[in-house]
Chains A and B, each alone.
Chain A
């Protein structure tokens, strides 16, 4: 059939085209680097990847510009480097790709440092430490995570985050529903599309402060996560600068002040007791 042959040809041609584009962009990403630090200083701008829909860490304000705790921290970094801050709003997995592809110099986005991610990007020391909490509606029949571990229940969370792995180990038998943003996952629990929302413990604290009459938490904190600045792998100078910034930020009281401003309560201790 002539038409069919034509469409097969189109398929092959498109495949080749897509392949070439992908290869050329990969080649671009492999250009030798002069070091992010010198690039940032030369450019006079620091490109910061962040996510929307994740208050109070970061969300988009009414004017479309990102606002929140992470944004204030990032602005403070730019100020100290004496460069302009330029925000790039990405989705949850985009926090990693933006660094891999060098579209961003840093990621400030409720970003948990872990070994898996460290294989492809780098992290500073933490500026916040959080856990993971299962939130349910007040009238939910669920009382424990063991109960939730049942195929008839749905757990909602934002994809590309640590919730994927945490839900897989703590409630492997429950259905998982993945959303683009934390806000969508929260809304899904509100509207009853999922039975529980697995979320960051600090976020949970601010949700509870606002809507505590409607929701409650299932007992247990299911993770220890160090929220850190993400940066491209293999750039020691850049890591050194950022880590000094984090250390000073934590020690100076700036962190405590910004945290209180956005979360409404005192910054929990960053040093974990082992």
Chain B
């Protein structure tokens, strides 16, 4: 007979806040870093340089075709075998960043391709350098275009961060397993963590919407609507 009883988890709620913070921190860092990787990767993929285009395409194809779990193992165990010891948290962060960065690259590339040539020419004709052009003209438009797929991917990163548990990172999924191990309330632990992930993903999503609205509403030159 299985009696579903969430209260059975109560003795083990102590480590939960730390686990939630760990998941949030890992996800937030991975999101920020993978956005940077995605922007650079996309610029490589649309670059005039054949070498950069090839490097960008190779990165995307390789990383998209290796399961995240394998990337985590490769970094945590593989690099350690050759003497480069990266701890669990950072291994997971690097793996998440590389994996999500590949998807970000494709999303940003799609956004870049949707910007008409005329925008580049108008910006260049005003004397903008490459950096100014991307910062003030191209990427603000790209972010508007990729807003929805970006949100999906960001939630995906939060969800995927649970794989960090396989290399001993103390985060929400690890908490779930230990809480189950210690209380034998596995079903309740699964359930609680399911709800926690929904809340975390939504918290990050709300964060995305708020920062997005703030960024998008922010007039770049001090003028206000």
Please say whether chains A and B are actual partners in one complex.
Answer: yes
Q: A96-B186, A191-B77, A193-B85 are in contact. Are A234 and B1 (CB under 8 A)?
A: yes
Neighbouring A residues of B206 by C-beta, 8 Å = 4, 7-8
Interface set, chain A 1-26, CB cutoff 8 A to B: 1, 3-4, 7-8, 10-11, 14-15, 18-19, 22-23, 25-26
Assess whether B55 is interfacial by the CB under 8 Å rule. Answer: no
Assess whether A177 is interfacial by the CB under 8 Å rule. Answer: yes
- Check A100 against B186 for contact (C-beta < 8 Å): yes
Neighbouring B residues of A188 by C-beta, 8 Å = 76-77, 80, 167-168
Q: A26-B187, A30-B2, A97-B180 are in contact. Are A8 and B202 (CB under 8 A)?
A: yes
Binary contact track A68-103/B, C-beta < 8 Å → 1, others 0: 000000000000000000000000010011001100
- Check A160 against B181 for contact (C-beta < 8 Å): yes
Chain B, interface size category, equals 35 or more
- Check B198 against A14 for contact (C-beta < 8 Å): yes
Chain B nearest CB, measured from A190 CB (Å): 8
- Check A93 against B180 for contact (C-beta < 8 Å): yes
- Check A30 against B1 for contact (C-beta < 8 Å): yes
- Check B184 against A96 for contact (C-beta < 8 Å): yes
Q: A4-B210, A19-B191 are in contact. Are A164 and B77 (CB under 8 A)?
A: no
Neighbouring A residues of B122 by C-beta, 8 Å = none
Q: Residue B186 contacts which of A14, A93, A178 (CB distance < 8 angstroms)? A: A93
Assess whether A66 is interfacial by the CB under 8 Å rule. Answer: no
Q: A30-B1, A156-B168, A184-B166 are in contact. Are A15 and B198 (CB under 8 A)?
A: yes
Cα-based distance from A120 to B8 in the complex (angstroms):
13
Assess whether A42 is interfacial by the CB under 8 Å rule. Answer: no
Assess whether A125 is interfacial by the CB under 8 Å rule. Answer: no
- Check B209 against A100 for contact (C-beta < 8 Å): no
Interface set, chain B 1-34, CB cutoff 8 A to A: 1-4
Neighbouring B residues of A192 by C-beta, 8 Å = 80, 85
Neighbouring A residues of B114 by C-beta, 8 Å = none
Assess whether B64 is interfacial by the CB under 8 Å rule. Answer: no
Assess whether B139 is interfacial by the CB under 8 Å rule. Answer: no
- Check A22 against B190 for contact (C-beta < 8 Å): yes
Binary contact track A176-205/B, C-beta < 8 Å → 1, others 0: 111110001001101111000000000000
- Check B77 against A193 for contact (C-beta < 8 Å): yes
- Check B191 against A159 for contact (C-beta < 8 Å): no
Cα-based distance from A193 to B190 in the complex (angstroms):
28
- Check A191 against B80 for contact (C-beta < 8 Å): yes
Q: Which residues of B contact A (CB under 8 A)?
A: 1-4, 76-77, 80-81, 85, 87-88, 165-168, 174, 177-178, 180-182, 184, 186-187, 190-191, 194-195, 198-199, 202, 205-206, 209-210, 213
A96-B186, A178-B165, A178-B168 are known; give 6 further A-B pairs, CB within 8 A: A11-B198, A22-B4, A97-B180, A97-B186, A190-B81, A193-B76
Q: Which residues of A contact B (CB under 8 A)?
A: 1, 3-4, 7-8, 10-11, 14-15, 18-19, 22-23, 25-26, 29-30, 93, 96-97, 100-101, 116-117, 119-120, 156, 159-160, 164, 176-180, 184, 187-188, 190-193, 234
List, sorted by A's number, 13 A–B pairs whose CB atoms are closer than 8 Å: A1-B209, A1-B210, A4-B209, A11-B202, A15-B198, A19-B195, A30-B1, A164-B182, A178-B168, A179-B168, A191-B77, A192-B80, A192-B85
